[in-house]
Amino acid sequence: MNAKALKQLFDYQKFEGNKDLDDVIQSVHARYGMAKPKLRELTLDEMEWVAAGVGTPEQKQEQKKDERI
């Protein structure tokens, strides 16, 4: 399967106005959304760090604190 076919299959704009999908997204936001303390959206850079196994900046700070003790 080539990149063009994948883009057509997974193009978000196809799903953007979907009521069922929007309901699921709203449900997830309500359950795990930003209303809970210490939760926030990760930036693209932070997502790369997490994927690389480095963790978020907050986790890095906690590790540094633990190393000092």
Report CA torsion sign: 13, 43, 30, 35.
negative
| Ranges of each domain in the chain | 42-69
pTM of the model: 0.36
In this structure, how many other beta carbons lie within 10 angstroms of the beta carbon of residue 60?
12
Q: In this predicted model, what pLDDT tens digit does every residue of 48-67 receive, in sequence order?
A: 888 888 777 777 777 777 77
Would the CA dihedral through 41, 43, 44, 47 be positive or negative? negative
List of residues 6+ apart from 60 with CB closer than 8 A: 54
Tell whether the torsion through CA atoms of 19, 24, 30 and 34 is positive or negative.
Answer: negative
Tens of pLDDT along 3-53?
888 777 777 767 777 888 888 878 887 887 655 666 677 888 888 888 888
